[in-house]
Amino acid sequence: MVIRLKKNNKFLMELMSKIFIIYGMGYVGNLIAEWCNNNKINYIFCDKNAEQKKKKTDKTVIFPEQLKEYPDSKIVIASINYYDEIKSKLEQLGIDSSRIFSYLDFWTDRIDWDKLENTADWGKVRQRAEIFASWIAPSAQSVADYSFEKNFLRDFLPKTIRYESPDYIRFQNNIPYGDFSKIDTLFRVDVSSCLAMLMSFSNPEAVIDHMCISTKKAIIASYVVLEKLSDIRFRRSINYNNDYTEQQFVDMFVQRGFQLIKSEQDPFDMVHIVYLFERR
Residue 110: is its pLDDT beyond 70? no
Confidence class of residue 1 from pLDDT cuts 50, 70 and 90?
Answer: very low
| For range 178-197, the mean pLDDT | 96
Average pLDDT (112-135) is: 80
Q: What is the mean pLDDT of the chain?
A: 89
pLDDT digits (tens, 9 = 90+) for 39-62: 888 999 999 999 988 988 999 999
Distance CA 52, CA 241 (A): 35
**Residue-level pLDDT at 271:** 84
- The predicted pLDDT at position 167 comes to 94
Map out the domains of the chain with their CATH numbers: 9-106 (3.40.50.720), 113-279 (3.40.50.150)
* Whole-structure pTM value: 0.74
Measure CA 207 to chain center. Answer: 19
Q: Three-state DSSP class for 142?
A: strand
The answer to whether the beta carbons of residues 212 and 258 sit under 8 Å apart is yes
Encode burial over 187-223: b for 16+ CB neighbours within 10 A, e otherwise.
eebbbbbbbbbbbbbeebeebbbbbbebbebbbbbbb
| CB-based contacts of 127, cutoff 8 Å, min separation 6 | 268
pLDDT band at 117 (very low <50, low <70, confident <90, very high): low
pLDDT computed for residue 148 by the predictor: 81
Give per-residue pLDDT as tens, 189-202: 999 999 989 999 99
Question: 252: part of which helix (H) or strand (E)?
Answer: helix 246-254
Cβ contacts of residue 245 below 8 Å, gap of 6+? 225, 226, 227
CA distance 263 to 261: 7
Mean pLDDT on 203-225: 97
Mean per-residue pLDDT, 156-164: 95
Task: Work out the end-to-end distance of the chain between its first and last CA atoms, rounded to an integer number of angstroms.
Answer: 36
- Please indicate whether residue 117 or residue 4 has the higher confidence score (pLDDT): 117
pLDDT above 60 for 4: no
Q: Phi and psi (nearest 5°) for 30?
A: -70, -30
| Stronger pLDDT, 239 or 256, i.e. the higher one | 256
- The mean per-residue pLDDT over the stretch 142-158 comes to 90
| Residue 56 vs residue 7, higher pLDDT | 56
